[in-house]
Structures are given as structure tokens and as C-alpha cells.
A = this chain, B = another copy of it.
């Protein structure tokens, strides 16, 4: 099959209905959002529901040792599947689309293909990965990380949440410690549909985001220590004010994004003065600087300039400075062939498209380590995510799912038997 049927379409109502049904599990009263932190009772109930749907479609469902659940079309070939998937855990006050869309759209793609009776060269598979959000157990993307062999299962099982509960025990408790081996066999290819969680598609009125990469992330905690004193009685020349240096750094981060340009983003979302009193020059200031870029060399250049500025500003004021890297991930580039295919399918379906990087982390970036991978984004209204007000219109959900359908079908063909 080299020219799949563009008229084949997922059932939009059924997709929205499943999103609604899943969102009722752990629903946050008075909102359209939900709370299903990884490996809680609510997560278990969500897993049970989705797994039931997988079984209802006659799929082969396997659960691995970290609780990832993968459902594959029965297929006589034994060929590796074209896989999609995402996660169904949420943050504490999450929306109903983040992750869930990717899983349920995958289910929808498979149901559509099965109903149409199309014979494929290789099977399709859909999975959901454990603890993608990282809200309960760190690191985030835990399940997919273990899936691709980035973290040993035995280490992952020992991770504790803030209350001291352990991953392995929680998997046993909810009945999702499976027997499928890890790392898992690599799929033939992987495509993940996800809401953008940002404002670009809405801002430019583009339907489909063709995700080329995931930004590299650099978080640096800056702790500045000076000399607390009275804001009225201390002449400027006798001050060693860590608050001023913190402000200068935060203002510089914005300048730096302009200097570097391109995909460079920089944010100071967290800044705390001590004691934070109007008439007291602070004794200390702490801020975390978030720098991201899709290009590792450019990200390193941004980090270098940032550190240079911090050292100069601190020295000028006579305050002590301590830098601590609190997160550092290199950028991930997706597969050129899969990216092109997503773009091509979306175009053939008459959707406007735009290539863009992902600013947030996704399971797909883990799968990219073991197979050709890309992602499809749909609009997030207002760029809102990790929030009960997260929203994507049904027509955008359907558009994304149909691009996923066409892309997956194309990836099953012999043309992609590389």
C-alpha cells in the first residue's frame, strides 16, 4: 500500500467521547480538568478504562515492569509495529488533553483501520507510558526512559515520591507491574500526537504543528548572598545588595534571548528575596534561570554568556554567588523522514502546517533514541496547559488524529522498510 486512502477518517465523536469518559476518572469538581497523578488509585482507574478499550478492539496488550501498557494489532508477520502513544497520568490540576489525546487518538487510529479492514504490511501499536509528568516521581518521562533503556528497571522501581512511597510498591499495589521485558524491542517508527501546550499555532492560525525537535533545557539556580541593612540609613556606596544583582540577572536573561535570537528562550519564573521586606536591603536572593534552545552549541553559548554576566554583576556589587545546575537536557532532533511525512500528510489533508520545536518534554523524545520518530501538535487555546482550563476544539483534535492516521499508515508501507 503506497497510496493510502485519504478519505479514510477517524470518528471524531468517538474520540471526543473517549476523552470525556477518561476525563471523568479523577475529575476535578467544578472544572473540566482532572487529577490522575502517576500510580495513584485514579491513575489505576484510568489505566483500567483504557486497557479495557484496548482489549475490546482485540489488541494484544502487554504490560512491562515499569507499568507501560502497549497494545498491538494482531499481525501474522512478526514485523515490528509502527507505534504511537503518550501518557494518561496528569499533573495535580491537569487538563483532559495533555497525553490523553495521544493515547486515545492512537486507539482511534487503530479502530479506524480495523473497522475499514485494511491489510497492513506491519502492525500498528498504541501505548501509554508511566509517569510522564514527573509530578509524583522524578524524573519525568520515567516510563518511556526505562522503555528505551535509558534507566535500569531496578533503579526506577526504587524511586520514591515526596511521601516516601516507592514506584515498585505502587505498581504492585495498583496491579500494573507487568512481565514484558525491558528495555523493550524498538518499534519500527514512533509518532506522537500531542497538544502544543504553547500559543504558536493559535497565534498564527495554523492547524497542524510538525514537530522537528525538542528544545534542550538548562536550569541554573543562582544563590546570591550580600549584607542585609536598613534601606533608609545605608548609603548606596556601602551596600552589597543581592536583590539588585538578582534583578540585573533577570533583566539580562531577556536581553540575552534577543542577542542570541532564533529559537532561544529564557525565563526567570522563580525569584525570592530574603527577608523580602520593603525597608530592608535583602541578605540573600535566589532565582532559577531557564534557558532553552533547539541547538546544543547555541544553548552552550547562551549558558556561557549568562555565567559571565552573573560573575560580573556579582563582583560589581560585592555579593557572593553560587551556581547550581538543577536540570540539563540536550536538544533532541526528530527523524527527517518522519518529519517530512507528517508535513506531507497534513498538506494532503489540506491543513495549514508549521514546523516548530517542542518547548516541553515528551515521551517521543525517549523513543527517538531507538527508532525514527516525530510528533504532531494541535492547537492549545490560549497556550494553556497543565491547567484545568486546557482546551482544544473537536475539529483540531480530529485534524491531529487524521494526520496521525495517515502518517502511521504511510509508515507501515514497504517504502519505509529501511
Contacts and interface: CB of A to CB of B under 8 A. Distances in A.
B199 A238 contact: yes
A190 to B, nearest CB: 21
A215 B196 contact: no
A232 B417 CA distance: 35
Contacts of A171: none
Interface in A339-397: 358-360, 383-386
A288 interface: yes
Most central of A244, A258, A264, A288 by chain B CB within 10 Å: A244
Contacts of A267: 231, 241, 243, 279, 281
A76 interface: no
A265 B203 CA distance: 44
A272 interface: yes
Given A257-B236, A383-B234, A199 B244 contact: no
Interface string A113-156: 00000000000000000000000000000000000000000000
Interface string A176-213: 00000000000000000000111110010000000000
A233 interface: yes
Contacts of A266: 236
Contact of A278 (B246, B251, B269, B384): B269
**Copies of the chain in the assembly:** 2
A55 interface: no
Contact of A198 (B200, B230, B248, B269): B230
Given A251-B251, A254-B244, A278 B288 contact: yes
B233 A359 contact: yes
A383 B233 CA distance: 8
A196 B196 CA distance: 58
Given A229-B383, A290-B278, A199 B268 contact: no
A217 interface: yes
A269 B276 contact: yes
Contacts of A85: none
Contacts of A219: 278
A280 B276 CA distance: 21
A230 B385 contact: yes
Contacts of A217: 232
A269 B265 contact: no
A14 to B, nearest CB: 29
Given A219-B278, A251-B247, A278-B219, A386 B269 contact: no
Contact of A269 (B231, B250, B271, B384): B231
Interface string A218-248: 0100000000011111111010010110111
Contact of A243 (B230, B264, B268, B277): B268
Contacts of A358: 232-233
Contacts of A2: none
Contacts of A234: 198-199, 265, 359, 383
A276 B265 contact: no
A270 interface: yes
5 contacts: A199-B234, A233-B359, A247-B250, A269-B279, A270-B276
